[in-house]
Amino acid sequence: MKRVPIGIEGLDELIQGGVPKGASILVSGGAGAGKTIFATQFLYNGATKFNEPGLYVTLETNLKNITWDMENFRWDIKKLQEKELFKIYKLNLAEKDSENIEEEVLEELNIISEYIEKVGATRLVVDSTTSLAMWIRGSAAMRKTLFQFTDGLKKLDCTTLMTSETKGSKDAISAFGVEEFVVDGVMVLYLHPPHRTIFIRKMRGTNQSMSPHPFEITENGIVVRSKEEVPWEGIHL
């Protein structure tokens, strides 16, 4: 099996060198846990270390928020955009009529798939799946939509990272409570100030670390301290 390194220092060694190629991975956590930075870093590393084109899909109306992080970490995103190694795509749902919204969402996902094929993108980020809640009502619909989406991506061999916003508590894994069953892997980010902890909850086909590990957001982005473990009692949430 081919593996795709996330490229975040200290992380890949916890999952046998990377996530299975074409896998869909959920990165969940509360506000400020580091999901967006994690996701951006996955694309940035892909582009700069492995020459892999990546696509960042968002529902954010203000795309400045995304470039803030990159400027902050001095990641030269403009250069990557010029080389077609990084692209931001804003989901176009706001003005659509809500009657056939699930179809509309799938149509948007088709546009994404076509783009992926066109530029040969091998890394995709959807940040965040929780914002789809505005259009997709209920966990059953969410599960169905995510399943169709990830299934299509698997055929393209595109490795996908989706973020999910939780309340941030220890047992919170996803926003709808169904996403974790559809995806191939789940990484939970905990923020318990001043500490940050990552726990790999699920990684199909992988002999993974079973312990929570501390991580930091440094001036170069996320760094996982893979040699250290955090006892569950040490996560105060």
Ligand X SMILES: Nc1ncnc2c1ncn2[C@@H]1O[C@H](COP(=O)(O)OP(=O)(O)O)[C@@H](O)[C@H]1O
Task: Say whether residue 145 binds Mg ion (CB under 5 A).
Answer: no
Classify the phi-psi angles of 234: left when phi > 0, otherwise alpha if psi is within -120 to 50, otherwise beta.
alpha
CB of 34 to ligand X, least distance (A): 4
65 interacts with, out of Mg ion, ligand X, none, CB within 5 to 8 A per kind: none
Task: Say whether residue 53 binds ligand X (CB under 6 A).
Answer: no
Of 37 and 77, nearer to ligand X (C-beta) is: 37
CB of 36 to Mg ion, least distance (A): 3
Q: What is the DSSP string of 165-230?
A: E----TT---SSS-HHHHSSEEEEEEEETTEEEEEEEEETT-----S-EEEEEETTEEEE-TT---
Of 23 and 125, nearer to ligand X (C-beta) is: 125
The secondary structure of residue 9, as a DSSP letter, is: B
Task: Say whether residue 20 binds ligand X (CB under 6 A).
Answer: no
> Residue 89: beta bridge partners?
57
Cα dihedral 132, 117, 151, 123 sign: negative
Task: Pick one of 33, 55, 125, 200: the residue that binds ligand X (CB under 6 A).
Answer: 33
**Of 175, 203, 173, residue with least CA distance to 25:** 203
Segment 55 to 74, residues that bind ligand X, using CB under 6 A: 72
Binding span for Mg ion by CB under 5 A among 28-36, 82-90, 92-100, 192-200: 28-36
What is the distance between the alpha carbons of residues 217 and 34, in angstroms, rounded to a whole number? 8
> What x-and-dash track marks residues 166-205 binding ligand X by CB under 6 A?
----------------------------------------
Binding span for ligand X by CB under 6 A among 12-20, 24-32, 53-61, 172-180: 24-32
Task: Pick one of 14, 22, 27, 36: the residue that binds Mg ion (CB under 5 A).
Answer: 36
**What SS3 class is residue 73?**
coil
What is the distance between the alpha carbons of residues 222 and 64, in angstroms, rounded to a whole number? 20
User: What is the size of the binding site for ligand X (CB under 6 A)?
Assistant: 11
Please give the residue ranges that form the binding site for ligand X (CB under 6 A): 29, 31-37, 72, 217, 219
